[in-house]
A and B are shown apart, each in its own frame.
Chain A
Amino acid sequence: MFDSLKKKLQNIRTKFASNIEEVAGPEPAAAEQPLLAEAAEPAPLAAPEPPAPVEETPEERVEPTFFNRLKVLVREREVLLQEKDIEEPLFELEMVLLESDVALPVTDEIIARMRSDLVGRHRKIGASVDDLVASTLRSALCGVLGDGLDLSEYIREHERPVKILFTGVNGTGKTTTVAKVGHYLQKSGFTVVIGAGDTFRAGAIEQIRTHADRLGIKTIQHQAGADPSAVLFDTVQYAKAHGIDVVLADTAGRFHNRANLMSQLEKIRRVMKPDLVVYVDEAVAGNDAVIRADEFNKAVGTDAVVLTKADMDPKGGAAISVAHTVGKPILFLGTGQGYDDIMPFSPRLVVDELLGGEA
């Protein structure tokens, strides 16, 4: 995941850099003449800008008018970036983000951030342009991805049993994720019980049951068609009675535009009172990811997100979209068919990864 996005971002960075470099292009010529002009100017009047290092506080930014550009160029030997200087690479960045499934509104926001961060910015002639672009892109991405969440730590800090409810639309991989998270928590030394709350889809109970049996996890189940709230309530009771650390509650997939199914989910939440509501979606989802993440968040709330099928998609734009929309941390990435194919998600690492190591 993220490999191809990384490559593309790298290209964009060089592009930005070369465009910005071009702006600095006429440097020698421009720099020479105005020496005179500077001498002629009644110096102290317009002066109060200190020749500060590059990329600092926002107050330092000036309208990139021709005069200001010249002034800055002369006085501080810096270049003031103009909107048109970066228009082309910005458009390319936009395309790259869209191609990587970053949803349109989120892309718009990243681009806007980049633009407002870069335009009017001073750049010292000779200072690394790449650093400037990288740091801007970095802060834009970090801003969008938010912070991570360490599940083990969360469980240690909270009263047990910690109840985790999994929600999401059909076919995103909730059941598989429940099994994987169960396995992960077991490995971390917690005891786990699973509630087979998908009583609707044919074969769902058998599916979660088989997974749990293989992993040696207890499943609480009712018959197909039973009230999922009741199943999950029983699961919580079981956990309390047996001193189990974590309750994982599977639910049936449902579309966010089905009012009655969403109110069923709301009822489940009321009955089992989960500590964490985890929204599961797939990393290959496109623009709809944003809409449904938002609807689920509005209907039952979301505390964390799991993105599945991350191994299908080397780009991972949906991660950026969903994280941004919900404004909640991404807990795990699902990366394959095995029980171990689950990866805690750390936004810092991802951004580092995307922008190439130290950048």
Chain B
Amino acid sequence: MLDNLGASLKDAVKKLAGKTVIDRAAVDELVRDLQRALLSADVNVKLVMQLSQAIKQRALEEEPPKGMGVREHVLRIVYQELVRLMGKPGEVALGPQTILMAGLQGSGKTTTTAKLARYFQRKGLRVGVICADTFRPGAYDQLKTLCDRIGVPCYGDPNEPDALKIVREGLPRFRKQYEVIIIDTQGRHALEENLIEEIININEISHADHRWLVIDAALGQQASEQARRFHAAIGIDGVLVTKMDGTAKGGGALSAVSETQSGIVFIGSGETIEDLERFDPDGFISRLLGMGDLKALVERAEEAVSAEDIDVNAMLKGKFTLRDMYKQLEAVNKMGPLKQIMSMLPLGGMQIPDDAYDITSTKMQRYKVIMDSMTPPELDDPSIIGGSRVQRIARGAGVSPDEVRDLIKYYKIMQRALKGMRGMGGGKFNMQRMMKKFGRTQ
């Protein structure tokens, strides 16, 4: 559904292209599509209305700088306003500190606590974790198991009902030995007064340096209200967005940022302990809008290069050879999973079949090895690869012929996908250039 929104947003942007005067109707349409995209991403309704007002006003009133087209001008305003809404990424100091985790039930505090411990541990700090969740059965076991896996000590007692007592006893003990101490707390929501009372007390006795609010990416309009109350209670100074590996867009986090006047510190996007990333506003905006990397577009615009001057890439003409795929796989290795990269390209609706993504990094490695055993003519024109060539390549690469056929199948899927893209106005973009840009923002 959101993919369609991205596509319609893109269409609206396209309508602005090539215009010399800003067209009120086109701006209106763009703003309306933007509103829909943001609302579907769970951004607070009031924020969306403010934002769209600001964009509309600026787009119609401000003169585009010389040499910048109307489209680029409007895009730049959209981007700037979104960045303003997003706030700065929250600061993360790599030094001794105490962090208090707060959030609703089931938002992922415990998992995130373990991920954070891992993050600081990898930065070379000594980390200790305190489990102050005395309510949910299994909470201590969960945190302990996760901490044991990375060799981080975890203080807690599943039989002690008083969370304050655990913090009071655990903290002094850990402060002597560890630099970073993370306190996991029980899930609570803002309407549970005694629990809010409890976290206020924990905050007081722990003298936490940071109080981070954990927000589920799927949280809807309720995010504002919850964040406001948490902020009033303990003064939130950072927001962590979890479960970004689902399809939720995380708009609720923006509401939280705006209510707490803080910034997003980390993004959790997976079930393993390593799946925690520092917040990157550009990636987040792209995801919100279901649209390619807006910043890259804006940067490109600011260089005032007109799209027509750029060479049309052979790849998009459908001349996608195995060599291109080889380069692509190499690039992908440096940049992360293919799907992420594809989602950064301004292709609007995902036109790429899912099996194209079904390729793991080990498989990619193998594909490269297989391609190393091919001759130049084969790389240029894979259609000449017949049965005997498959046998030869397989022997050369030390794999089974089936795997070679697998590779060719994958190549065909990619080729078809890229052909599909061609019709979408993507031809004007220089893929490699964009790839480079993404490489830099990563």
Contacts and interface: CB of A to CB of B under 8 A. Distances in A.
A207 B249 CA distance: 30
A205 interface: yes
A359 interface: no
A312 B191 contact: yes
B5 to A, nearest CB: 9
Given A171-B216, A257-B246, A312-B222, A207 B45 contact: no
B248 A288 contact: yes
Interface stretch (B81-89, B121-129, B138-146, B425-433): B138-146
A204 B243 CA distance: 18
A312 B189 contact: yes
The CB with the most chain A CB atoms within 10 A, among B36, B104, B219, B222, is that of: B222
Contacts of B108: 170-171
B41 interface: yes
B105 interface: yes
Interface residues of B, number: 52
Given A255-B245, A291-B1, A315-B222, A205 B138 contact: yes
A282 B226 CA distance: 15
B135 interface: yes
A317 B220 contact: yes
B105 A309 contact: yes
Interface in B200-232: 216-223, 226
A286 B218 contact: yes
Interface in B173-196: 189-192
Contact of B220 (A200, A204, A286): A286
A312 B104 contact: yes
B141 A206 contact: yes
A143 interface: no
Given A207-B137, A284-B220, A286-B252, A257 B247 contact: yes
A172 interface: yes
Interface string A188-217: 000000000000111111111111000000
Given A95-B45, A105-B1, A287-B40, A203 B220 contact: no
B251 interface: yes
Interface stretch (A96-104, A271-279, A348-356): A96-104
Given A105-B1, A203-B145, A256 B252 contact: no
Interface string A324-359: 000000000000010000000000000000000000
A337 B223 CA distance: 20
Interface in B36-51: 36, 39-42, 45-46
A122 interface: no
Contacts of B271: 170, 200
Given A169-B243, A169-B246, A311-B191, A201 B220 contact: no
B145 A202 contact: yes
Contacts of A313: 222
B343 to A, nearest CB: 12
A308 B107 CA distance: 13
Contacts of B36: 104
B136 interface: yes
A207 B138 contact: yes
Interface string B268-282: 000100000000000
Given A203-B139, A288-B248, A309 B104 contact: yes
B106 interface: yes
B251 A291 contact: no
B220 A287 contact: yes
A309 B106 contact: yes
Contact of A288 (B221, B223, B249): B249
A214 B158 CA distance: 15
Nearest to A174: B106
A255 B141 CA distance: 23
The CB with the most chain B CB atoms within 10 A, among A98, A209, A292, is that of: A98
A101 B221 contact: yes
A289 interface: yes
A201 B142 contact: yes
Contacts of B248: 285-288, 291
Given A101-B220, A286-B42, A309 B142 contact: no
A114 interface: no
Interface in B348-380: 354, 358
A205 B141 CA distance: 10
A295 B137 CA distance: 30
A318 B252 CA distance: 14
Contacts of B246: 169, 255-257, 288, 292
B247 A289 contact: no
Contacts of A311: 189, 191
A313 B106 CA distance: 15
Contacts of A315: 221-222
B137 A287 contact: no
Contacts of A317: 220-221
A173 interface: yes
B399 to A, nearest CB: 24
B247 A288 contact: yes
A211 B331 CA distance: 49
A99 B189 contact: no
B150 to A, nearest CB: 12
Contacts of A205: 138
A174 to B, nearest CB: 9
A210 B45 contact: no
B9 to A, nearest CB: 14
A110 B36 CA distance: 16
B40 A99 contact: no
A287 B242 CA distance: 16
A100 B141 contact: no
Interface of A: 95, 98-101, 103-105, 169-173, 200-211, 255-257, 259, 282, 284-292, 295, 308-309, 311-313, 315, 317-318, 337
